């Protein structure tokens, strides 16, 4: 959208077959005309955990701000924006098991102070006359109109809940689940894993020979196994692998190895039906 509005040029960092960013190529893309680097912390389509700390360091050496999409990261690991030194960090409530339609945008104070409001409305002004408007201080400058009070309270409770469970405990438990799922699912004849990065969150994307991901999702649903099927809002990734869609099992701390065994059995059922 920004490219259409401003005539900016979008330059894309390539990935390898494992679904990892090619950091040598990424670094070559940075120059004195680069205005911002935007990168996913964890890929929702592949589970890859990108080396965001290194990305930020490389960008900051050239004075380039960095925006991280952390929607898929925050439910699975501790995130400290100060330690990362990112300039902006965005996340969504529903991926943290909280309310839909609400999220968080973190930004460094000095950058947010320099930015104009993107919309007008109540509470984002300090004073108004017909000649001049003075904007409110942060964060109110960017929160025009009646706030989403109920969901904000719900999102706060979500954060407290995750902290009580312990994100370090969650990360360790989900790592074990992912290792087990990767082993047993990849052992099924005809299954191809999509995204095999060394550093991954608990996302398992895969295909079954001769079966469209949507059909596979339907069969698994009837077997009581819930997955997502499609391009996962990541069509360029699907194009890279030469596939129209993938089936994606997203594992969380409420899952068990028994759930994974049911997934394997359901894939076996699909093989029988489409064999």
| 86 closest CA partner among 50, 119, 117, 137 | 50
Contacts of 100 (CB under 8 A, 6+ apart): 93, 94, 151
The confidence score (pLDDT) of residue 208 equals: 97
pTM: 0.93
Task: Decide: 221 and 72 in contact? Cβ < 8 Å.
Answer: no
| 245 closest CA partner among 258, 233, 254 | 233
3-state SS, 249-265, equals EECCCCCCHHHHHHHHH
Task: Decide: 101 and 151 in contact? Cβ < 8 Å.
Answer: yes
The confidence score (pLDDT) of residue 248 equals: 97
Helix (H) or strand (E) holding 2: helix 2-6
The alpha helices in 22-108, defined as continuous H runs, are 23-29, 52-61, 81-84
**Along the 275 residues of the chain, how does pLDDT read in single tens digits?**
989 999 999 999 999 999 999 999 999 999 999 999 999 999 999 999 999 999 999 999 999 999 999 999 999 999 999 999 999 999 999 999 999 999 999 999 999 999 999 999 999 999 999 999 999 999 999 999 999 999 999 999 999 999 999 999 999 999 999 999 999 999 999 999 999 999 999 999 999 999 999 999 999 999 999 999 999 999 999 999 999 999 999 999 999 999 999 999 999 999 999 97
Judged by DSSP in three states, 21 sits in strand
The confidence score (pLDDT) of residue 275 equals: 75
**Which residues belong to CATH 3.90.1150.10 in the chain?**
167-274
Instruction: Respond yes or no: is residue 3 known to be catalytic.
Output: no
**What fold, for 2-165?**
3.40.640
Catalytic residue among 233, 242, 254, 272: 233
The alpha helices in 104-148, defined as continuous H runs, are 109-114
User: What is the distance between the alpha carbons of residues 200 and 186, in angstroms, rounded to a whole number?
Assistant: 16
The confidence score (pLDDT) of residue 53 equals: 98
Task: Decide: 266 and 220 in contact? Cβ < 8 Å.
Answer: yes
| Residue 44, phi then psi, degrees to nearest 5 | -75, -25
Tokens coding 236: 């360029």
The confidence score (pLDDT) of residue 213 equals: 96
CATH of domain 167-274: 3.90.1150.10
**Which residues belong to CATH 3.40.640.10 in the chain?**
2-165
């Amino acid at each position: 959208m920004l490219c259409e509005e401003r005539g900016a040029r979008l330059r894309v960092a390539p990935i390898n077959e494992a679904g990892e960013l090619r950091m040598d190529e990424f670094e070559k893309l940075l120059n004195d005309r680069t205005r911002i680097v935007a990168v996913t912390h964890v890929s929702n389509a592949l589970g890859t955990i990108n080396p965001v700390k290194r990305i930020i360091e490389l960008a900051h050496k050239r004075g380039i701000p960095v925006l991280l999409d952390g929607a898929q990261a925050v439910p699975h690991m501790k995130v400290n924006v100060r330690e990362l030194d990112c300039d902006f960090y965005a996340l969504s409530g529903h991926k943290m098991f909280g309310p839909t339609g609400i999220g968080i945008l973190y930004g460094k104070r000095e950058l947010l102070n320099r930015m104009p409001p993107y919309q007008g409305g109540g509470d984002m002004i300090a004073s108004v006359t017909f000649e001049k408007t003075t904007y409110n201080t942060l964060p109110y400058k960017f929160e025009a109109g009646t706030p989403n009070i109920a969901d904000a309270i719900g999102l706060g409770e979500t954060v407290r809940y995750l902290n009580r469970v312990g994100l370090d405990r969650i990360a360790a438990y989900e790592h074990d689940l992912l290792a087990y799922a990767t082993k047993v699912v990849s052992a099924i004849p005809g299954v191809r894993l999509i995204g095999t990065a060394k550093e991954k969150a608990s996302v398992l994307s895969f295909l079954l020979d001769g079966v469209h991901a949507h059909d596979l999702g339907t069969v698994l649903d009837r077997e009581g196994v819930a997955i997502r099927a499609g391009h996962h809002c990541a069509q360029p990734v699907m194009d890279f692998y030469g596939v129209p869609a993938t089936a994606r099992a997203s594992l969380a701390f409420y899952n068990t190895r028994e759930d994974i065994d049911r997934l394997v059995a359901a894939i076996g059922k699909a093989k029988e039906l489409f064999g």
